[in-house]
Amino acid sequence: MNLTNEKTKIRGSVDVKLIGPDGQVKDTRYIPNLVVQNGKNYIATRMLGTSNTANVSAVSTTISLTSCMTHMGIGTSTTSVAVADTSLLTEVVIAGDITQYFRANVQSATANTGVVTYVSTFTTNNPQRTLTSNTTAVTEAGIFNSSSSSGTLTGTMLCRTTFNPVNKGNDDTLQITWTITVS
């Protein structure tokens, strides 16, 4: 048996569920996604079990180890995902008629047999629009190790995905379940 041919793969998938104010599911999506290079580097640094900064890639990318993946962000870009992505391309920000937005906390995270699952919910009024529409056409999502979302965007992004618009109204909630599989 030749063990040197083992090829470990990291895959992600996203389930998106839009829930109306009446509690009824309005839309659901299943999207395979890409674990970006910074995400792969981040996973490698977590194996070190330290909170120091580590140089783990052939191109000398430095990744902070200070935090586990704790938040999800949403955006409006439809540009295809690339392994070199380091952030959402058009993360929602407080500007114009958007008066409120924040990355959603990871409410639960579980690990079992090479699979990690994260769940976050963007509650009512996140984002909140006031002038032109009460609906945001969400077309991208990412998982981060930082809550920062306005002004300077910070944190390491593990994964990014894009999808056809999910029209989240102010009164809707958007639940994202992200599954990362190492096999």
Instruction: List Cα–Cα distances, 178 to 4, 17, 54, 158, in angstroms.
Output: 31, 12, 26, 11
pLDDT score, position 16: 97
pLDDT score, position 5: 67
Phi and psi of 39, rounded to 5°? -65, -40
Question: Could you give the 3-state DSSP secondary structure of residue 43?
Answer: helix
pLDDT of 113 above 80:
yes
With respect to residue 144, please indicate whether it lies within any of the assigned structural domains: yes
With respect to residue 26, please indicate whether it lies within any of the assigned structural domains: yes
Is there a cis peptide before residue 32, judged by omega within 30 degrees of 0?
no
pLDDT of 171 above 90:
yes
With respect to residue 1, please indicate whether it lies within any of the assigned structural domains: no
Phi and psi of 85, rounded to 5°? -60, 135
The mean pLDDT value for 93-104 works out to 84
Task: Quick: pLDDT tens for 6-50.
Answer: 777 888 999 999 999 999 999 999 999 888 988 888 887 777 664
Least confident range of 1-15, 52-66, 149-163: 52-66
Based on the structure, what is the number of domains in the chain? 1
Residue 140: give the domain boundaries: 11-182
- Our measurement of the distance from residue 83's CA atom to the centroid of its chain's CA atoms, rounded to an integer in Å, reads 14
With respect to residue 5, please indicate whether it lies within any of the assigned structural domains: no
With respect to residue 146, please indicate whether it lies within any of the assigned structural domains: yes
Give the whole-angstrom CA distance, residue 60 versus residue 104: 30
Residue 45's H or E segment, with its range, is helix 37-46
pLDDT of 71 above 70:
yes
With respect to residue 98, please indicate whether it lies within any of the assigned structural domains: yes
Phi and psi of 153, rounded to 5°? -80, 130
Give the whole-angstrom CA distance, residue 111 versus residue 151: 33
pLDDT score, position 55: 41
pLDDT of 87 above 60:
yes
With respect to residue 2, please indicate whether it lies within any of the assigned structural domains: no
With respect to residue 132, please indicate whether it lies within any of the assigned structural domains: yes
Give the whole-angstrom CA distance, residue 57 versus residue 41: 7
The secondary structure of 80-119 as a DSSP string is: PP-TT--S-TTB--SBTTEEE--PEEEEEEEEETTEEEEE
pLDDT of 60 above 50:
no
For residues 108 and 119, the answer to whether their CB atoms sit within 8 Å is yes
Q: Answer with the residue of higher pLDDT: 51 or 78.
A: 78
Q: Answer with the residue of higher pLDDT: 147 or 151.
A: 147
For residues 12 and 177, the answer to whether their CB atoms sit within 8 Å is no
pLDDT of 170 above 90:
yes
